[in-house]
Amino acid sequence: MQVYLVGGAVRDQLLDRPITDKDFVVVGATVDEMLAAGFVQVGADFPVFLHPTTQEEYALARTERKLGRGYQGFSVHASPDVTLQDDLQRRDLTINAMAIEVTGLTDDTPLTGEVIDYHGGLDDIQSKTLRHISQAFSEDPLRVLRVARFYGRYYDLGFHIAEETITLMRQLVDSGELTHLSAERIWQESSRATMQGSPQVYWEQLYAIGALTEYFAPLHHAWGDTRVRETVQTALYFAGQMHLNLSQRWALLMASLDQSISVSQPNPDILSSASHTSIVAEEKKTALKAITSISNSAKVPKVPTQFASLFVTQAGKLSAVNELNATQKIDLIQACSAHKEPNKLSQLLVTSHVLQLAKQHRQMMLALNSFHAIGIESIDPDIKGAAIGKALNEARAAHLFSMEQSIASTN
């Protein structure tokens, strides 16, 4: 019998990242031998066991073949003649398919420390590439979401997704395979990815390959507007930097569904103008419906859904607290149940602040682009000396103005 440390633990060891859980593969053993060694079998379908003391997962080497659609219909073959190579072959990414042999079932000290790598995982660690191993990738469509999640997780390390893997992910999306996934698995991946340091990467990647159209359709639709998409992605980036909680991050994502908060600047007049109020109220109604619809299709739990709905409902007031009169402030306290949960009010204010920051950031990035776009060659060669600086900045301002106008008219 041989025992190997596999998957995420090997990958994270090579990346010098913290190892959260260890998975082992056992080659040349039977179910009875595992039970006799005190391991506890978990899961009826797969021969996976928990170590009697460490509770780590030990699986008998297995091969899998897909018979039906979605996650059902797998035929699993585990027997002492299945090799490590067979087992690694069925996995998703090359960097997730490496192994290190350990002493045995009760001692996980590496034998030599040598990394067993049949699929070029070491090279892909070096070149920071997320690459699928084979067409077997398609057997579990959830891998589309996993790759986007890993991309977000290792984004700061400079990782990218291989072109051929993006093509395969797109094909899986186009074939409709994702529709057979359970909503619970979708939310599990999505919430994990949203809590990462760079949450925007996951959502951006899924949007880019059309993977949001099924479970997050209103979000896909709203992100057709570049202003909304860029603002919310920036807000998510800040949310990651500032360690916002899941409800706050979800509220920022759901703010996409209401242009009046994800695009418009806070405007004190909004609070008093009756005609504007009714337009905003209509947009809000539609946004709240969309939040509920996403919550149903992706099984989003109650807490983030309710927080997001409250944020969208109160966003106008939260972003303009300075402008509120005493009555409006008391109303806001009541609406947010701040008298019962003062923490919630702080969280809502922080969320609103992050969204404003993202809008300001987007405006300034546009200005920076205009600054770079206009160089000395763009101005009249007859202008000389100190007048050059003034002419340059006037041309940059004109460029920025026309960019702002054209963005406003194309969306």
Ligand X SMILES: Nc1ccn([C@@H]2O[C@H](COP(=O)(O)OP(=O)(O)OP(=O)(O)O)[C@@H](O)[C@H]2O)c(=O)n1
Residues within the interface to ligand X (CB under 6 A): 7-8, 20, 23, 91-92, 96-97, 140, 142-143, 146
For ligand X, the closer of residues 11 and 399 by Cβ is 11
240: how many CB neighbours lie within 10 A of its CB? 21
Question: What would you measure as the largest C-alpha separation in the chain, in angstroms?
Answer: 91
Q: In angstroms, what is the minimal distance from the CB of 248 to ligand X?
A: 22
Q: How many CA atoms lie within 13 A of 303 on its CB side?
A: 7
Q: In angstroms, what is the minimal distance from the CB of 71 to ligand X?
A: 9
- Where residue 132 falls (left for φ over 0; alpha for ψ -120 to 50; beta otherwise) is beta
Q: Is 157 exposed, middle or buried (0-12, 13-18, 19+ CB in 10 A)?
A: exposed
CA dist 38 and 41 (Å) reads 10
Q: In angstroms, what is the minimal distance from the CB of 62 to ligand X?
A: 11
For ligand X, the closer of residues 132 and 359 by Cβ is 132
Q: Is 227 exposed, middle or buried (0-12, 13-18, 19+ CB in 10 A)?
A: middle
Q: In angstroms, what is the minimal distance from the CB of 204 to ligand X?
A: 19
Q: In angstroms, what is the minimal distance from the CB of 189 to ligand X?
A: 9
Could you tell me if 332 and 324 are in contact, meaning their C-beta atoms sit under 8 angstroms apart? Answer: yes
For ligand X, the closer of residues 214 and 331 by Cβ is 214
347: how many CB neighbours lie within 10 A of its CB? 19
For ligand X, the closer of residues 154 and 223 by Cβ is 154
Q: In angstroms, what is the minimal distance from the CB of 194 to ligand X?
A: 14
Q: Is 2 exposed, middle or buried (0-12, 13-18, 19+ CB in 10 A)?
A: middle
For 134-138, which contacts have Cβ atoms below 8 Å and span 24 or more sequence positions?
Answer: 134/89, 135/168, 136/89, 136/90, 137/92, 137/165, 137/168, 138/168, 138/171, 138/172, 138/177
Rounded (to 5) percent helix, strand, coil in the chain = 60, 10, 30
Q: In angstroms, what is the minimal distance from the CB of 88 to ligand X?
A: 8
For ligand X, the closer of residues 133 and 315 by Cβ is 133
- Please state whether beta strands 129-130 and 160-161 pair in parallel, antiparallel, or not at all (unpaired): parallel
For ligand X, the closer of residues 8 and 28 by Cβ is 8
Q: In angstroms, what is the minimal distance from the CB of 202 to ligand X?
A: 12
For ligand X, the closer of residues 133 and 355 by Cβ is 133
For ligand X, the closer of residues 92 and 117 by Cβ is 92
Q: In angstroms, what is the minimal distance from the CB of 93 to ligand X?
A: 7
For ligand X, the closer of residues 98 and 263 by Cβ is 98
Q: Name the nearest CA neighbour of 13 among 122, 119, 105.
A: 122
For ligand X, the closer of residues 46 and 238 by Cβ is 46
Cβ neighbors of 64 (< 8 A, separation 6 or more) are: 74, 75, 76, 77, 90, 139
Q: In angstroms, what is the minimal distance from the CB of 18 to ligand X?
A: 10
301 is written with which tokens?
Answer: 């739990």
